[in-house]
Amino acid sequence: MDEQTDLELTFWEHLDVLRDAIIRILLVSVGCGLVAFCFKEQLFNIVLAPKSSDFITYKMLGVEPFDVHLMNTGLTEQFMIHMKTALCFGILAASPYILYVLYKFISPALYAQERQYSARIVGSAYVMFIIGVLVNYFVIFPLTVRFLGTYQVSNEVDNMLTLQSYMDTMLMMSLVFGIVFEIPVISWLLALLGLLKSKWMKQFRRHAFVVILIVAAVITPTADVFTLTLVSLPIWLLYEASIWIVRITERDRKTKSDEADEEKLPEPTEEESVANS
């Protein structure tokens, strides 16, 4: 009944529903951001942890102790960074609710099969994005901070890193890796639409490897071969996993197509049945 009522709404009534959904999203996001803003010490303990040699990643890799100092150069910079960081954490914390509200708004316009596929795609995309952010936080960003934060062309030149540059780099790399980890989901969606074949991905595997190295070098502009390899490896594994996902999707599409063709075949008449017997 709710879906039928939604479909019967006028254009302006749909806009009112969308407005209510946006208001709820903003309220929840701002509310989560305010909670994060109030817990300033805990918030920045998490954000600034990768710059310390006591971070879990450095301990696991056995990295020698190092020291990276951050400084502030603007009068309002620390307060603005506090607000921006809290808002980003608020949006990230509220993201499940945001996706739920948007899906509830869009789902009445979808058929049952489309609703099923859209739920899988959205859910998979969200999970992969979060995994990409976590991989960046625990692996990629710490190694980047260690290399760039301690790199010196001469002992006479000291590094004076600003808090703004640290936060901008962290947020940018988190967003980039969240998007990069969408490769399997995008491949699955293209395979469902018949726009991507597993044999094409195998054929251009070498080209993809070169592109992955270039992307890894752009994401982490370091001369450290170990870091470059560590960044390239998860992207390459995502590409290989995408080939496997596309192959399974092709097999499922072929099976469903064969079943549909069998259902379309006309049933034999009584005369044909007698003749065959």
Give the 3-state DSSP-derived string for the chain, with helices as H, strands as E and coil as C: CHHHHHHCCCHHHHHHHHHHHHHHHHHHHHHHHHHHHHCHHHHHHHHCHHHCCCCHHHHHHCCCCCCCCEECCCCCHHHHHHHHHHHHHHHHHHHHHHHHHHHHHHHHHCCHHHHHHHHHHHHHHHHHHHHHHHHHHHHHHHHHHHHHHHCCCCCCCCCCEEHHHHHHHHHHHHHHHHHHCCHHHHHHHHHHCCCCCHHHHHHCHHHHHHHHHHHHHHHCCCCCHHHHHHHHHHHHHHHHHHHHHHHHHHHHHHHHHHHHHHHHCCCCCHHHHHHHC
Q: Where in the sequence is the domain holding 29, given as residue range(s)? A: 1-142
Q: Tell me, what's the pLDDT at 1?
A: 41
Highest mean pLDDT among 25-39, 99-113, 159-173: 25-39
Q: Pick the residue with more confidence: 7 or 221?
A: 221
> Do the domain assignments include residue 274?
no
Nearest to 235 by CA among 255, 220, 257, 249: 220
Question: Residue 93: its pLDDT value, please?
Answer: 92
pLDDT above 80 (res 271): no
* 27 belongs to a structural domain: yes
Question: What is the pLDDT at residue 84?
Answer: 94
233's CB contacts (< 8 A; 6+ apart) are none
The whole-angstrom separation of Cα 125 and Cα 54 is 32
pLDDT at 221: 61
Domain assignment present for residue 111? The answer is yes
Cβ burial, residue 170 (10 Å; 0-12/13-18/19+): buried
pLDDT above 70 covers what percent of the chain? 88
Beta strands at 70-71 and 161-162: parallel, antiparallel or unpaired: parallel
- pLDDT band for 268, please (50, 70, 90 cuts): low
Q: How far is 178 from 159, CA to CA, in rounded Å?
A: 29
Any domain includes 117: yes
- Pairwise pLDDT comparison (1 vs 220), residue with the higher score: 220
pLDDT tens-digit map of 207-255: 999 998 888 888 776 666 777 887 888 899 999 999 999 999 888 888 8
Q: Which amino acid type is present at position 222?
A: T
Which tens digits make up the pLDDT trace of 162-207? 999 999 989 988 998 999 999 998 998 888 888 889 899 999 999 9
Indicate the number of domains in the chain: 1
Which is more confidently placed, 235 or 114? 235
pLDDT computed for residue 63 by the predictor: 85
* Residue 126 within a domain: yes
Whole-number pLDDT of residue 146: 86
For 52-107, write each residue's pLDDT tens digit: 989 999 998 888 888 888 999 888 999 999 999 999 999 999 999 998 888 888 87
Q: For residue 6, is pLDDT > 60?
A: no
121-139 pLDDT per residue, tens: 888 889 999 999 999 999 8
Q: CA-CA distance, 178 to 6, in Å (whole number)?
A: 33
Residue 89 belongs to a domain: yes
Two tokens at 275? 């003749």
Q: Is the pLDDT of residue 263 over 80?
A: no
| Residue 110 forms part of a structural domain | yes
- Residue 193 in domain: no
